[in-house]
Amino acid sequence: MKKLTLFLVLLTALFGLKLAAKAQTCLPPTGVAVTTPNGNTAVVNFNPVAGAASYTVRYWWAMDSTAAGAQTMTVTAPPATISGLQYPAYRVTVTSNCTATTGATSSPVTFQFPWSTCGTPDSVRAQTTGATTARVYFRLVSGATHYYAQCMVAGTNTVVATGNSTSHLIYLTGLQPGTAYVVRVYAVCAGGMSPLSAGAGFSTSGGTTPTVCDSVRNLRVSSITSTSALVSFTGAAGAGSYTVQYGTAGTTVSNTVTTVSTSLTLTGLQAGQTYWVRVRTNCIVATAGPVGTTFQTSGPAAPCGAVTNVLVTATSDSTATVSFTPGQNNTSFHITYHLANDSTRWVNTNASPVTIAGLIPGNTYYIQVTSLCGTGTGTVYTGGSNLTFGFRGTTALATRAALGAGSITAYPNPAHRAVSLTLPAVPGASKAQVTLLNAVGQQVRSSSVTLGSSTTRAELDLTGVAPGLYTVRVLAGGQAASQRLVVE
């Protein structure tokens, strides 16, 4: 009887321990979700866990595959607000911390700040200014309010120095002597940030300078699948790191990776596409290369159709909308526009229509809508045909003849070989630019007229002008007026 009683007591104790252990189980948080209220802040929400006294939020740059640069913060309840972020994309986990047992961690969640409508800074150059300092140059982009630089030791993904500026020049401090670095720049615009620029390498002074900087040898691509490939090569003398660039054939847009390894797996590729890849050697005081090759991923290529039905419509005296019908498998679009012999501006968008700004009435613009298919390293580009658009604005080229304290007149109208113009005085203006535009906004004639203190009369030669409907446009003192003219 005593043995039976002892057995029951032990059994009850053991069962109680199991229940206690079960009660102490600390589950990982579920429903982890991230929102980005602005360009450098993230709000992490999750479902609370019973028994958890606090939660550890761990976050790191999405490209940091080893999470070596991960940072943490602790909160007692959701949400957790992370500020001061400087990368376009991050990964985050949440660990529940219970009082009686080890915490449990959620699966990683990746989040990305929204891309802004401004472009990515390019032409990035870095120049050492001493053993611990450097300066970074780059080309400004339209719409940007600030620029940020991220500096990493070559071959690593951990940021060791940052800087920011509102101009094209950023200074870096706190660097290590005799060290090779890679720096990237991104722009901040209204509503988001641009992608990181291509990396620019530099080395601080001091330390031991190699006497040789060779190019890599035996560059080869193997283990090719529809979405990945292994790039490998024989290392070079004097190398501190290697810069690997790759992209789809026929484009100059590339992904750039800096590594200390002599092999690298490329992922996120598109099936059935031809890619180019090149490798540069980064030494302390120089670079060598590049050495390049091409390869093709397996599988049938997914078609990337060009847009159709492109239509441009003026919406003000400085803006127009570009609308179009997306092509097959399009994921985003790159719209470029420029005047003849002028620099190109661009707008990126995920849908039609899109607004282009900064236009000048009376000019012909060349516009192209390029389709993008896929994402990341697997992006495929299908360029559309250039189209021309005579921008006339919505008011400046209407029949508004008011100018200064009076109005412009044109007679006779219809005209034949010449037309006489009457121009009022314009306060603060001594010259007026008179331009004859055809029905599609192209300039046919242009002349400069000296304005008097009262009414000025001028004549516009129409010799050789084809019959049709035209607009006489007058600019003076920041004002614009126009008059319809029929040439017979």
Q: Residue 286, CB half-sphere, CA atoms under 13 Å: how many?
A: 13
Residues 45 and 73 in one domain: yes
Mean pLDDT of successive 10-residue segments in the chain (488 residues)? 50 47 70 82 90 88 69 90 77 85 81 71 85 88 85 78 87 86 84 78 71 80 92 81 85 78 87 88 76 88 83 82 88 87 84 86 84 69 77 54 74 84 83 82 83 84 84 80 82
Residue 15 lies in a domain: no
Contact (CB, 8 A) for 348 and 332 = yes
Instruction: Return the bridge partners of 409, or none.
Output: 422
In tens, the pLDDT along 258-275 reads 887 888 899 888 888 888
Q: In whole angstroms, what is the distance from residue 375 CA to residue 1 CA? A: 76
Residue 9 lies in a domain: no
Residue 211 lies in a domain: no
Residues 166 and 145 in one domain: yes
CA distances to 33, 46, 192, 437, 446 from 53, rounded to whole Å, are 20, 15, 35, 74, 78
Q: Residue 64, CB half-sphere, CA atoms under 13 Å: how many?
A: 19
Residues 70 and 52 in one domain: yes
Residue 396 lies in a domain: no
In tens, the pLDDT along 320-360 reads 889 888 888 888 888 999 888 777 888 888 888 999 888 87
Domain CATH code at residue 467: 2.60.40.1930
Residues 479 and 415 in one domain: yes
Residues 54 and 74 in one domain: yes
Find, among 63, 83, 91, 86, the residue nearest to 150 by Cα. 86
Residue 183 lies in a domain: yes
Residues 37 and 104 in one domain: yes
Q: Is the dihedral of CA 229, 231, 232, 233 positive or negative?
A: positive
Q: In whole angstroms, what is the distance from residue 130 CA to residue 137 CA? A: 16
At 4 the pLDDT is: 52
At 207 the pLDDT is: 63
Contact (CB, 8 A) for 346 and 354 = no
In tens, the pLDDT along 122-160 reads 888 888 888 888 889 898 888 888 888 988 887 676 788
The structure tokens 């401090």 sit at: 173
Residue 378 lies in a domain: yes
Q: Give the end of a domain, one of 112, 143, 165.
A: 112
Burial-class residue 244 by CB neighbours within 10 Å (0-12, 13-18, 19+).
buried
Q: Residue 135, CB half-sphere, CA atoms under 13 Å: how many?
A: 6
Residue 302 lies in a domain: no
Determine how many CB atoms are found less than 10 A away from the CB of residue 160.
16
In 49-178, alpha helices (H): none
DSSP 209: P
Domain CATH code at residue 190: 2.60.40.10
Burial-class residue 366 by CB neighbours within 10 Å (0-12, 13-18, 19+).
middle
Residues 176 and 231 in one domain: no
Contact (CB, 8 A) for 90 and 131 = no
Residues 287 and 343 in one domain: no
Residue range of the domain that includes 447: 402-487
Contact (CB, 8 A) for 450 and 435 = no
Residue 147 lies in a domain: yes
Q: Give the end of a domain, one of 271, 296, 321.
A: 296
Residues 231 and 291 in one domain: yes
Q: Give the end of a domain, one of 138, 170, 203.
A: 203
At 229 the pLDDT is: 93
Residues 100 and 137 in one domain: no
Number of domains within the chain:
5
